[in-house]
A and B are shown apart, each in its own frame.
Chain A
Amino acid sequence: MNFGLSEEQVLLKNTIRRFLEEQCPTTRVRAIMEGESGHDPALWEGLVDLGVSGLIIPAAYGGSGLELLDFALAAEELGYACTPGPFIGVAMATVALLEGGDAAQREQWLPRIASGKALATIAFGEGDGEWDPRKYAARVQGDQLTGAKPFVPYASAADAIIVAAHDSNGPGLWLVERGAPGIEIIRLKVNDLTRRVETVRFTGTPARKLGGNAAALQRTLNAGCVLIAGDAYGGSSRCLEMAVQYAKQREQFGQIIGAFQAVKHQVANLACELEPSLSLYWYAAHAFDRIHDKSERHAALAKAHLSDLYDRVTRDTTELHGGIGFTWEFDLHLWFRRAIFDRSFLGDANFHRARAADLAGW
């Protein structure tokens, strides 16, 4: 019974954390997010050099051959540091290729993703909060994809987009390459400027099918849920740290505000909720890796639970900071916006809870 991280995993976390402390302080986060694309290739390259993009890619393709738990730890650290960039899309596309890609597709894309030479992303949800793959309207007929995906992470920067759609056999995954005919990408004004999403419209776009069908699609979604949960945990723990730090410094009414019981209780409540939620996301990642029959429900539970928590943490933390917390200049809203992303990307908490109830067979 070893419900904890290995030395290597702790080292991985610390390495990513140190790198981001040095290379991605909030000044750089702001510079990138205020830029046009919200993506800094140099920063991504730094993460690639650490092995982040290739964490779960087998060594044969130039990756580290690790598991989703390790990937989720990286997601946590990226969330902790509010890191701008295409991680979530790249990560889910990688899972899709591993779960559903044929040998040629894996050979073509995985080494380039691991080495940072290519970016990939995923196009799943179709708006109105619908993230159930069985309900997607995007269709493939004779290798031609038609449909609209409103929220695709970093579509403009992607060399490959893995699209969830249907053909006559049902739901599946298709790969579309940059520059293919019939793709229209529409820029959006978004709240989380560190993780841009764009609308992509496909009209008769050539698409190559991944072999895995519905199961691979679901695994990809499950992995994405776990990674979002990890991000939410990382961001929440950063916000709690900031709240505690502020409570120890700020003086009002003749004392450090952290001495007031109401302030103490607010942070204590957050800490109380945060601690067990770490174990929930760890378990969900572990289930994806090793306890497959529990994986789908746990991914849904973790995503819902952690994104709800992130919402509460960011609100309470901002409130605790008083007026300064509400300014653009103060960094807190960076994470507040991340929480807004995590709330609904891949499906909101109610969607996932309804799914989990259905999966329980009730």
Chain B
Amino acid sequence: MDLSYSEEYEKFRAEVRRFLQENWTDEDRNSAPPPDQRAAMMGAVIRTDERATKFRQKAIERGYLYRHVPKRYGGGEQPPDSLKGTIIVEEFRRAQAPGEIMGQGPSMLVPTLVEHGTEEQKQQFVCDTLLGKISWCQGYSEPGSGSDLASLRTRAELDGDFWVVNGQKIWTSNADTSEWMFCLVRTEPDAPKHDGISYLLIDMQTPGLTVRPLRQMTGDADFNEVFLDNVRVPVKNLVGKRGQGWIVSRSTLKHERNLIGSSLLSRRTLDGIIMLAQGINLRGQPAIKDPHIRNRIIELESKVLANEYHGYRLLTMQHRGEEAGTAQLVTKLYGTMLGYDIGKLAMDMMGDRGLLAPGEETAPAMGMFVTAYMWSLGILIAGGTANIQRNVIAERGLGLPRDQAVNRK
């Protein structure tokens, strides 16, 4: 057991640092437009202005970004090495340099196209997506199809050289600002449910598309509903074969499950909790002096650390090429339950100041903890609810049998 990096990797780290020093200077850093708060919490920079784009291009050329994407499509194309990947993320964060763009385009759409797309599709979309020139939203969930996504009913019918799409999507983050949508539609209504789905790329400017903001419980509208009314999509925008959309989409859902519940976020939030506990009074003393609060902070810290070290263990297994099995399957559930614990503790520490809403000047940390408390529930539901995660852990991880009563057709 050794937490240090070998000489080979420390040399690599030094090389990455040198690159960053030379190519992302103080001037670059200070020229940054105000960062998105949530992204900033995750330590990411999601700039896509010209300065950031030029830097990314250099970083890609050096093989630091998008290492899993072939060069000819605009990627860094490097042999898989999770330790190098980790070092790159750490160093880019430290330098506050633009890393891989956080979004559904680079993380979901690109791997799908690389695996299933036509040459034309790859040429048209991949490079621009990686550089943030094209942004994407995900047209998956529907009001009637959430956890049971495969039951989706948005229809696409062939009319000459076009698929004509009718239906509705929901929980489409960033539909209002995205240029394109990758969308699951039903093209084979008579086939068994999983075999009747196709994967289409839809230009958000296409006539017939209406985007309506969906206000979530926090009061903001970070999500949307998307209505499709005879939207005509060229057949060349079909990814994979018709009826194969479920298989095509599988790689993206796997990615989404890894993305949510990052241990870095938990650690930073824990630090925030401790600061809150030190700065806020609870019945005559700083909350941090209250024995119950102390106990719970430590319980929380144990889970945050366990989560972090679990990440090291997974990284090591990946690097060694070992099958992670159940260990990999628990990450989303653990991370999101941890998010709940953190939010709950913050609410308890704030006492009656938890009555105050974000935006209220006198609210602790401008009401950020209340938002986090609500969002932790959103994260638990999104990308595969906690109960779905538990099904997956039990069935795929532990080998328990599927419920015979559930309609799999």
Report the Cα distance A231→B294, complex, angstroms: 26
Q: Is the CB of A275 within 8 A of B327?
A: yes
Report the Cα distance A362→B279, complex, angstroms: 12
B49 at the binding interface (Cβ < 8 Å): no
Chain B window 1-41, contacts with chain A (Cβ cutoff 8 Å), 1 for yes, 0 for no: 11111000100000000000000000000000000000000
Which A residues are CB-close (under 8 A) to B317?
4
Which B residues are CB-close (under 8 A) to A37?
none
Partner of A280, one of B277, B305, B393, B399: B305
Stretch from B175-183, B232-240, B296-304 at the A interface: B296-304
Partner of A301, one of B4, B302, B397: B302
In the complex formed, the residue of A with least CB distance to B278 is A362
Report the Cα distance A264→B389, complex, angstroms: 11
List residues of A (253-299) whose CB comes within 8 Å of B's CBs. Answer: 255-256, 258-261, 263-265, 267-269, 271-273, 275-280, 282-283, 286, 291, 298
Most B C-beta atoms less than 10 A away, residue of A2, A269, A286, A302: A2
Report the Cα distance A255→B401, complex, angstroms: 10
Q: Is the CB of A268 within 8 A of B404?
A: no
Which A residues are CB-close (under 8 A) to B320?
4
Assuming the contacts A1-B83, A268-B394, A357-B297, asked whether A282 and B5 have C-beta atoms less than 8 A apart, the reply is: no
Assuming the contacts A1-B4, A1-B86, asked whether A267 and B398 have C-beta atoms less than 8 A apart, the reply is: yes
Q: Is the CB of A301 within 8 A of B298?
A: yes
Stretch from B68-76, B140-148, B307-315 at the A interface: B307-315
A354 at the binding interface (Cβ < 8 Å): yes
Distance (Å) between the CB of A64 and the closest chain B CB?
16
Which B residues are CB-close (under 8 A) to A356?
298, 301
Which A residues are CB-close (under 8 A) to B295?
350, 353-354, 357
Chain B window 265-301, contacts with chain A (Cβ cutoff 8 Å), 1 for yes, 0 for no: 0000000001001100000000011010011011101
Report the Cα distance A259→B400, complex, angstroms: 7
Which A residues are CB-close (under 8 A) to B299?
304-305, 353
B257 at the binding interface (Cβ < 8 Å): no
Chain B window 380-391, contacts with chain A (Cβ cutoff 8 Å), 1 for yes, 0 for no: 000000010111
Q: Is the CB of A305 within 8 A of B302?
A: yes
Count of A residues near B, CB < 8 Å? Answer: 46
B306 at the binding interface (Cβ < 8 Å): yes
A43 at the binding interface (Cβ < 8 Å): no
Distance (Å) between the CB of B10 and the closest chain A CB?
11
In the complex formed, the residue of B with least CB distance to A263 is B400
Chain A window 1-26, contacts with chain B (Cβ cutoff 8 Å), 1 for yes, 0 for no: 11111100000000000000000000
Which A residues are CB-close (under 8 A) to B400?
244, 247-248, 258-259, 263-264, 267
Which B residues are CB-close (under 8 A) to A258?
394, 400-401
Q: Is the CB of B313 within 8 A of A278?
A: yes
Which A residues are CB-close (under 8 A) to B310?
275-276, 278-279
Report the Cα distance A9→B2, complex, angstroms: 13
B133 at the binding interface (Cβ < 8 Å): no
Which B residues are CB-close (under 8 A) to A259?
400-404
Which B residues are CB-close (under 8 A) to A279?
306, 309-310, 312-313
A175 at the binding interface (Cβ < 8 Å): no
Distance (Å) between the CB of A233 and the closest chain B CB?
11
A114 at the binding interface (Cβ < 8 Å): no
In the complex formed, the residue of B with least CB distance to A240 is B398
List residues of A (307-362) whose CB comes within 8 Å of B's CBs. Answer: 350, 353-354, 356-357, 362
Which B residues are CB-close (under 8 A) to A263?
400
Report the Cα distance A302→B334, complex, angstroms: 17
Most A C-beta atoms less than 10 A away, residue of B291, B294, B309, B404: B309
Interface size class of B (residues with CB under 8 A): 35 or more
List residues of B (308-366) whose CB comes within 8 Å of A's CBs. Answer: 309-310, 312-313, 315-317, 319-320, 326-327, 330, 333-334, 337
B395 at the binding interface (Cβ < 8 Å): yes
Report the Cα distance A268→B302, complex, angstroms: 20
Report the Cα distance A5→B312, complex, angstroms: 12
A69 at the binding interface (Cβ < 8 Å): yes
Q: Is the CB of A354 within 8 A of B291?
A: yes
Distance (Å) between the CB of A287 and the closest chain B CB?
10
Q: Is the CB of B298 within 8 A of A265?
A: no
Report the Cα distance A259→B403, complex, angstroms: 5
Q: Is the CB of A271 within 8 A of B399?
A: no
Which A residues are CB-close (under 8 A) to B389?
268
Report the Cα distance A354→B333, complex, angstroms: 28
Assuming the contacts A1-B4, A1-B5, A3-B309, asked whether A357 and B316 have C-beta atoms less than 8 A apart, the reply is: no
Most A C-beta atoms less than 10 A away, residue of B306, B316, B401, B403: B306
Q: Is the CB of A268 within 8 A of B288?
A: no
In the complex formed, the residue of B with least CB distance to A305 is B302
Q: Is the CB of A276 within 8 A of B303?
A: yes
Assuming the contacts A271-B397, A276-B334, A357-B298, asked whether A301 and B305 have C-beta atoms less than 8 A apart, the reply is: yes
Q: Is the CB of B334 within 8 A of A272?
A: yes
Report the Cα distance A282→B314, complex, angstroms: 14
Which B residues are CB-close (under 8 A) to A255?
401, 404
Which A residues are CB-close (under 8 A) to B309?
3, 276, 279-280, 282-283
Report the Cα distance A172→B403, complex, angstroms: 59
Report the Cα distance A275→B309, complex, angstroms: 10
Distance (Å) between the CB of B350 and the closest chain A CB?
18
Partner of A286, one of B1, B86, B390: B1
In the complex formed, the residue of A with least CB distance to B4 is A1
List residues of B (169-198) whose CB comes within 8 Å of A's CBs. Answer: none
Most A C-beta atoms less than 10 A away, residue of B297, B302, B327, B393: B302
In the complex formed, the residue of B with least CB distance to A255 is B404
Chain B window 60-102, contacts with chain A (Cβ cutoff 8 Å), 1 for yes, 0 for no: 0000000000000000000000010010000000000000000
Report the Cα distance A244→B319, complex, angstroms: 29
Distance (Å) between the CB of B342 and the closest chain A CB?
15
Report the Cα distance A353→B292, complex, angstroms: 10
Report the Cα distance A287→B389, complex, angstroms: 32
Assuming the contacts A1-B3, A1-B5, A276-B334, asked whether A268 and B315 have C-beta atoms less than 8 A apart, the reply is: no
Residues of B at the A interface (CB closer than 8 Å) are 1-5, 9, 83, 86, 274, 277-278, 288-289, 291, 294-295, 297-299, 301-303, 305-307, 309-310, 312-313, 315-317, 319-320, 326-327, 330, 333-334, 337, 387, 389-391, 393-395, 397-404
26 contacts between A and B (CB under 8 A): A1-B5, A1-B312, A1-B316, A3-B312, A3-B315, A248-B399, A258-B394, A259-B400, A259-B402, A259-B403, A265-B387, A268-B394, A271-B330, A272-B390, A276-B310, A276-B330, A280-B306, A286-B3, A298-B305, A301-B301, A304-B298, A354-B295, A356-B301, A357-B294, A362-B278, A362-B288
New contact pairs (16) apart from A265-B394, A276-B306, A354-B294, CB-CB < 8 Å: A1-B2, A3-B3, A3-B313, A248-B399, A261-B391, A261-B403, A268-B391, A268-B398, A271-B393, A279-B312, A280-B306, A291-B3, A305-B303, A357-B294, A357-B295, A362-B294
